[in-house]
Amino acid sequence: MGAYTTGADVFGLLLDLGVGPVARMTEADAEQIIAGLEGEVNGILKAQGYAAVPATGSADKALLGQQVRMKAAARVYVTLHQPQRSPDWVRTADIDWSEFLNRLRQGQQRLVDQDPAGEDLPFFAVVRHPTRDDYFTARHGTTDWDE
């Protein structure tokens, strides 16, 4: 059983999408797919500085569960059927998953119930003033080029 969704939830979603009962795959097989997807998400969350990984907040679990469940359903469908004949919802799920992971990596998508740990830390920077080198930076023989 995954932290965000289960194999039964994925099979239920497949029934809702009109795929029908899945005979050649068990919920345990779907759980393996879910574990891989959740590992991918959790790795990104850890790298972004989230303290509670896997996420524990109800809104976070709902957000991540929806994404993982849809991508897992698409993977189950592609595993059982020919990938070249995938319906539109499978292609859309793949695109949505990739965009979601990219937003997480870039910090454009955040969890609802917690912030990355780096956001709480004060930010101090030391900026050195570059030394003046008139040989390379002077313009057209003017002495007041930087004023």
- Please, are residues 72 and 5 in contact by the beta-carbon 8 Å criterion? yes
pLDDT of residue 102: 92
Tens-place pLDDT, residues 40-92: 999 999 988 888 888 888 999 999 999 999 999 999 999 888 777 788 999 99
Against a cut of 0.85, is the pTM above it? no
Tens-place pLDDT, residues 113-134: 888 876 555 555 555 555 555 5
User: In angstroms, rounded to a whole number, what is the distance separating the alpha carbons of residues 65 and 68?
Assistant: 5
Cβ atoms within 10 Å, residue 129: 5
> Tokens 């919802």 correspond to what residue?
89
Q: Tokens representing 114?
A: 């917690």
Q: Tokens representing 4?
A: 């965000």
User: In angstroms, rounded to a whole number, what is the distance separating the alpha carbons of residues 91 and 107?
Assistant: 24
Over 60: is that where the pLDDT of 94 sits?
Answer: yes
User: In angstroms, rounded to a whole number, what is the distance separating the alpha carbons of residues 134 and 106?
Assistant: 40
